[in-house]
Structure 1
Amino acid sequence: MTSAPIPTVTLRPGVDIPLLGLGTWQATGTDGYDSVRAALDLGYRHVDTARAYGNEDQVGRAVADSGIDRSEVFVTTKLPPEEAGDAPRIIDESLERLGFDYVDLWLVHWPPNKQARPDVWADVVAAQEAGKARAIGVSNYSPAQIDELTAATGVTPSINQIPWSPSDFDADPVAAHRERDVVLEGYSPFKRTNLEDPVLTAIADAHGVTTSQVVLRWHLDTGVVVIPKSVHPDRIAANLDVAGFALDADEVERISGLGG
């Protein structure tokens, strides 16, 4: 397959995020460093980490050692809900561990105690205003909770990171995020999808690719950011190798039909 650039989508206030990145959950120690270095060497320019993952230092060191200019690598980290009341300290500690002056995206990892917590969101907004995060958003929030943050602060999260796969597809949340100008970002793209499903295998065979690659391409073709995780260089490479083909409208519809 011929490689091509990974497309991007723009987050408020004008920050471009690659639609495909490397997830780093459970990638700690040497695995964390090596996987990020391998990804960057292969051409990834988007890495997703979190304070809770315990690997911010490895991620930051891998970015620094890659020789790639910091401005060319989009890095996300997250504020854990159990420390949400101390957000100003947490962002400073994350930046120190990463070795960065800023992150490209800072997310509230989960609604603290299942609550929207506009007071926490106000601290996240303040971090962006201070130049510590180029874009800000949430993870695992409902549209109603996003509305609560907007109503209280006047600032809408630019992105919401949630579990997403063909099996999770539902037109209602897609529409709800679009109406709010909130980009949808999915994690665990393979975990809840049957990669042996006949729909996926038929489409994969038609394009000469794997069903995993079909799932990732489906995210790209529907404008959903996706962050597959792996510490295996061959899988990291295969996950990136999805820019050389595209799904047609019928194939996208058939894959989306696996939801529900």
Structure 2
Amino acid sequence: MPASTSVKLNTGADMPTVGLGTWKSAPGAVEHAVEFALKNGYKSIDTAAAYQNETEVGEGIAASGVARATIFLTTKLDNPDQKEPLAALESSLKKLGTDYLDLWLMHWPAPMTKGEPPLADKTHDWLDTWKEMEKLFQAHPDKLKAIGVSNFSVEFLERLLAVATVVPAVNQIELHPSCPQEDVVEFCTKKGIVVTAYSPLGSDNSPLLANEVVTKIAAKYNVQPANVLISLQANKPNVTVLPKSVTNTRILSNAVIIDLTEEEIAELQAIDKTHHFRACHPSWTGWGSLGFPDCQ
């Protein structure tokens, strides 16, 4: 499947296939990364309230001089804010310096308390949060162009779709050869939900960058191993991808997408059979205690 430049959401909007992720991108660096990325052809920026860098992301967007209408901007509802989604939305809009979001995601199906440390809020159902997000989406089309979810397994998606009046536009999940989550990708594709891949390299200092299959394909196309891993997701018809960096040269390099053969895609997907790991393990839960399975 040749790589695409955009994927159509169930709202009819086009979402750029490759965007700049900002997880772990700290204030002081992220604003420059966003500015540089937008000035050099990126059209999609992803952040979250939990990243604590929305203000700086907004500053980067403003400094770029790129028209807001040409940017696909995503942020996420934080777990401790699930009881107050309207206030959280207004806070994100203010910090980002924008009147609207192209996409707003529930970061996890896991309501948390606002205390330190945050704990699971067993008095609130995340399905109620989704219902409130639906109401906001329907009542404020000027502020929300699309809503979706993040870190949802098939089990959680099935529970959501059983009561939802709005099908999520996107499910953002960890996705790379050592965490392929093929069941989630297949389910989302059948339901018209676009998948966005975060940590496509397997996060920082990933062993995937030195994997012999990855390096072999990189040598064939005269690109970096990172390009192979990002391109793997971009070659899938229902997937967008979020490489992240605050280094100018890597931001430029990460945007280079190659068309992989079916055989190469199969080789890369098979890495999971021998090298299996997950980069994102939330520290606020015992991972399985809220029903989140490991990569499948």
TM class by smaller structure: over 0.9
Report Cα offsets for 1:28-68 as digits up to 9, x if no partner: 32201101011111111100001111111111122122121
Unaligned runs of 5+ in 2: 112-119, 274-296
Q: Distance in 2 between matches of 1:9 and 1:152?
A: 26
Provide the residue aligned with 1:252 in structure 2. 265
Is 2:230 the partner of 1:216? yes
Is 2:246 the partner of 1:235? no
Is 2:137 the partner of 1:128? yes
Q: Distance in 1 between matches of 2:184 and 2:97?
A: 36
Provide the residue aligned with 1:27 in structure 2. 25
The aligned length equals 254
Q: Is the 8 A contact 1:106 1:136 kept in 2?
A: yes
Unaligned runs of 5+ in 1: none
Provide the residue aligned with 1:185 in structure 2. 196
Classify 1:193/1:15 alpha carbon distance in 2 versus 1 (closer, same or farther; 3 Å).
farther
Provide the residue aligned with 1:100 in structure 2. 98
Q: Distance in 1 between matches of 2:135 and 2:94?
A: 18
Report Cα offsets for 1:94-135 as digits up to 9, x if no partner: 101111111110000011248872210011112222122111
Q: Distance in 2 between matches of 1:259 and 1:123?
A: 38
Q: Distance in 1 between matches of 2:158 and 2:207?
A: 30
Is 2:76 the partner of 1:78? yes
Mean Cα deviation higher: 145-154 or 132-141: 145-154
Q: Is the 8 A contact 1:116 1:149 kept in 2?
A: no
Q: Distance in 2 between matches of 1:160 and 1:173?
A: 9
Q: Distance in 2 between matches of 1:170 and 1:107?
A: 19
Provide the residue aligned with 2:47 in structure 1. 49
**Which structure carries more helix by proportion?**
1
Classify 1:46/1:176 alpha carbon distance in 2 versus 1 (closer, same or farther; 3 Å).
same
Q: Is the 8 A contact 2:133 2:147 kept in 1?
A: yes
Classify 1:151/1:170 alpha carbon distance in 2 versus 1 (closer, same or farther; 3 Å).
closer
Q: Distance in 1 between matches of 2:179 and 2:125?
A: 23
Q: Distance in 2 between matches of 1:153 and 1:187?
A: 25
The TM-score with structure 2 as length reference comes to 0.81
Counterpart residue type for residue 175 of structure 1: E
Q: Is the 8 A contact 1:45 1:72 kept in 2?
A: yes
The TM-score with structure 1 as length reference comes to 0.92
Classify 1:33/1:170 alpha carbon distance in 2 versus 1 (closer, same or farther; 3 Å).
closer
Counterpart residue type for residue 94 of structure 1: S
Q: Is the 8 A contact 2:109 2:151 kept in 1?
A: yes
Shift of 1:252: 1.1
Classify 1:116/1:228 alpha carbon distance in 2 versus 1 (closer, same or farther; 3 Å).
farther
Q: Is the 8 A contact 2:169 2:193 kept in 1?
A: yes
Classify 1:151/1:159 alpha carbon distance in 2 versus 1 (closer, same or farther; 3 Å).
same
Provide the residue aligned with 2:178 in structure 1. 167
Q: Distance in 1 between matches of 2:262 and 2:24?
A: 35
Q: Distance in 2 between matches of 1:6 and 1:38?
A: 22
Q: Distance in 1 between matches of 2:110 and 2:174?
A: 18
Match runs of 1:193-204 below 5 Å: 193-204=207-218
Shift of 1:6: 6.2
Is 2:138 the partner of 1:150? no
Q: Is the 8 A contact 2:77 2:106 kept in 1?
A: yes
